[in-house]
Amino acid sequence: MNESINLKPGQINGEKGIWEMVIGLEIHAQISSKSKLFSGASASFGAEANSNVSLVDAAMPGMLPVINEFCVEQAVKTGLALNAKINNVSIFDRKNYFYADLPQGYQISQFTKPIVGEGEIIIDLDDGLQTTVGIERLHLEQDAGKSLHDQHPSKSYIDLNRTGVALMEIVSKPDIRSPQEAGAYVKKIRSILRYVGACDGNMEEGSLRADCNVSVRKSGEEFGTRCEIKNLNSVRFIIQAIQSEAERQVEILEEGGKINQETRLFDTSTGETRSMRSKEDAHDYRYFPDPDLLPLEFSDSWVQKIRETLPELPDSLKKRLVTDFGITPYDASILVEEKDYVDFYQKAANGKDGKLTANWMITELFGALKKENISLSNSPISPENLGQLIALISDGTISGKIAKDVFAEMMISKKSPSDIVKEKGLEQVSDDTEILKLIDKVISENEDKIKDYLGGKDKLFGFFVGQVMKLSQGKANPGIVNKLLKEKLK
Amino acid sequence: MSNKESIVDIPTVNKIARLSRLNIPEASKQNLTNDLNNILGFVAQLDEVNTSDVKPLASVTGHKLPLRSDKVTDGNIEDLVLKNAPESSSGFFVVPKVIE
């Protein structure tokens, strides 16, 4: 190992040189519809077992699927937000496999002609850089049911509530080169889905999950054989799983071995991937067009109508926040992560110092909410009140230090900052004569130290400022105290 | 209707049977292989027609895929859904353990 080599993210320094990762992601996003993709049963989460199941979902003979218009709209809307080609004609295929939670024996999916074709998105990396990731396709498909294996020693319990719920599978091109980029990609897709309203992006409840295809190669060489890590439901696990899988592959290749193309699972307790029981026929899905469903067709004008309902998307909003409010691109990228962050910020910063508002929102408000485990939508401090606090700081009514006390009070009492300032008499004292009175008092009480200061102990100046501030209970304007004290002690 | 070339052999029949979870008696495999080849040969005659200018036809009636609005109109029929299940418990289907 050569210690002096500076590795880029996604590079692995092996015994026999530097390897790079090639990563592609398949994201499964549950569409935020009320009912399922092909049946009128509820798509809600957490209902009693098998209560959200229609006879279509249970695959009873003779039942016919009828597609949900809202789900089609959301797929098109998402496709437009991914700058992707919308296919006015797409086809539903049957993907055949046997599993206990798949009563049809096939999943209705789209294979040869998906509803959305190629597109691309820009992802933001930690160092402020951006990179583009290609989208291969987006298609509509049904989710499977849920199997519980821990209820009985020799039986599995099956709940079909999730069977037939609408998913969008978003497939990236193999453009991703590091676990960090993969994480940023998932965050960006999640953010876009939430802006568009197509998916709530809730990874804990499984509304958004990712399969990661990982291979390694020496720089400039052909793609290596890939492995697919299934069903990752957090950005942290995605990053860990890719890193550990790539390291595993490098080790095998450097020992002269070969990578088997296979499906692997990430074990969150060990942080490593392991092979799923080998299923040599697993990928032989024998797709064919679903004879129960005609091709899905729509007109350009229908697509145009949907385009007109698209909200302003994160990339454009980010640019606008930088231009309109003078904040840094980094702060802007944090604020556009979630739609409700931007909405809150724009209300709070309206007519105020944009930079100061961004600082207070990101550092103080987000910090306090995280500590209390409250979401922004339940914030005890309204955007109007945060804006008012910023105004009170900007116009000198209160100091930044007092503002922190007022902020803490706002978190508890939900009162407006001006009410708190009035009630507690916290207005900053900027009046010269008021402050001079305090300075005189401090001088008369500290005659010894004044002598030392005048004798050359410059460091004592800070002590005098502190005493004056203390005497004013923190309300004196520190700038004016400094100025007047300097004049007084010349 | 004899086929020009055999596409399906016994190993292919074994594979399809396994994927379809069908248990095919050894004695019927040769007949099934012949049947499949005959069917494929019959369908292969369509390849003789020049279809380069013909659009794929999904419906002879001109019907389009019907769409429904996003409303909950079904469900809450656990008893009906579970009625044919060989075994069920607390609203779940119960099957032999299927764990990876």
Summarised one tens digit per residue, pLDDT across range A350-389 is: 999 999 999 999 999 999 999 999 999 999 999 999 999 9
CA distances from A358 to A181, A313, A421 (A): 26, 19, 22
Considering CB atoms only, which of B68, B76, B93 is closest to A68?
B68
B22 touching A (Cβ < 8 Å): no
Closest CB from B67, B81, B91 relative to A58: B81
Contact status, residue A402 vs residue A426, Cβ threshold 8 Å = yes
pLDDT: is A282 or A472 the higher one?
Answer: A472
Chain A positions in Cβ-Cβ contact with residue B23 (cut-off 8 Å): none
User: Does the pLDDT at position A279 exceed 70?
Assistant: no
pLDDT > 70 in chain A, percent: 98
Chain B CB contacts of A294 below 8 Å? 58-59, 63-65
Query: What does the alpha-carbon distance between residue A297 and residue A287 come to, in Å, rounded to a whole number?
Result: 20
Shortest alpha-carbon distance between residue B76 and chain A (Å):
5
Q: Which two tokens stand for residue A237?
A: 């696990």
Q: CATH classification of A432-488, choosing from 3.40.50.2000, 3.40.50.920, 2.60.450.10, 1.10.10.410?
A: 1.10.10.410
Confidence of residue A113 (pLDDT cuts 50, 70, 90): very high
Task: Assign residue B65 a region (left: φ > 0; alpha: ψ between -120 and 50; beta: otherwise).
Answer: beta
pLDDT at residue B82, rounded to an integer: 96
Residue A135's SS3 state is strand
What residue of B is the nearest CA neighbor of A91?
A: B58
| Pairwise CB contact (< 8 Å): A40 & B99 | no
CB contact under 8 A, B63 and A294: yes
Average pLDDT over residues A429-456: 87
Whether B75 and A53 lie within 8 Å, measured CB to CB? yes
Cross-chain residue pair B77–A55, CB shorter than 8 Å? yes
Contacts of A68 in chain B (CB under 8 A): 67-70
Chain B residues in contact with A96 by the CB 8 A cut-off are: 19
Query: Which residues in chain B land under pLDDT 50?
Result: 1-3
Query: What was the pLDDT predicted at A6?
Result: 81
Nearest to A34 among B71, B77, B97 (CB): B71
pLDDT category, A166, cuts 50, 70, 90? very high
What is the domain partition of chain B in residue ranges?
10-47
Query: Domain segments of chain A: what residues?
Result: 11-304, 312-424, 432-488
Please tell me if residue B55 touches chain A, with a CB cutoff of 8 Å: no
A157/B94 touch (CB, cutoff 8 Å), yes or no: yes
Q: How confident is the model at residue A53 (pLDDT cuts 50, 70, 90)?
A: very high
Contacts of A296 in chain B (CB under 8 A): 65
For chains A and B, what is the number of CB pairs under 8 angstroms? 132
pLDDT(A280) > 80: no
Question: Quick check: B67 and A152 CB within 8 A?
Answer: no
What does the pLDDT read at residue A4? 56
Question: What band does A251 get if pLDDT is binned at 50, 70 and 90?
Answer: very high
Closest-CA distance of chain B to residue A69, Å: 5
- CA dihedral over A413, A416, A419, A422, signed as positive or negative: positive
The per-residue pLDDT for B3 is 43
**To the nearest whole percent, how much of chain A has pLDDT over 90?**
72
For the segment A439-466, the average pLDDT, to the nearest whole number, is 88
Q: A291-318: per-residue pLDDT in tens?
A: 999 999 999 999 999 999 999 999 999 9
> In whole angstroms, how far apart are CA A14 and each of A19, A97, A252, A330?
7, 39, 11, 34
Tell me what the mean pLDDT of segment A92-119 comes to: 95
Q: Where are the alpha helices (DSSP H) in A172-233?
A: 179-196
Q: Nearest CA to A160 among A290, A36, A32? A: A36
Write the residue in B71, B74, B95 that is nearest to A54 by C-beta: B74
Work out the minimum CA distance from B67 to partner chain A, whole angstroms.
5
The predicted structure's pLDDT at residue A34: 98
User: What is the end-to-end Cα distance of chain A in Å, rounded?
Assistant: 64
A66-70, A276-280, A332-336, A345-349: range with lowest mean pLDDT: A276-280
Rounded to the nearest angstrom, the minimum Cα separation between B56 and chain A is 10
Report, as an integer, the average pLDDT of A215-222.
Answer: 92
* Least Cα separation, residue B62 to chain A (angstroms): 10
Report the C-alpha gap between A279 and A281 in whole angstroms.
5
pLDDT band of A422, cuts 50, 70, 90: confident
- Provide the shortest C-alpha distance from residue A294 to chain B (in Å): 5
Quote the pLDDT of residue A276: 79
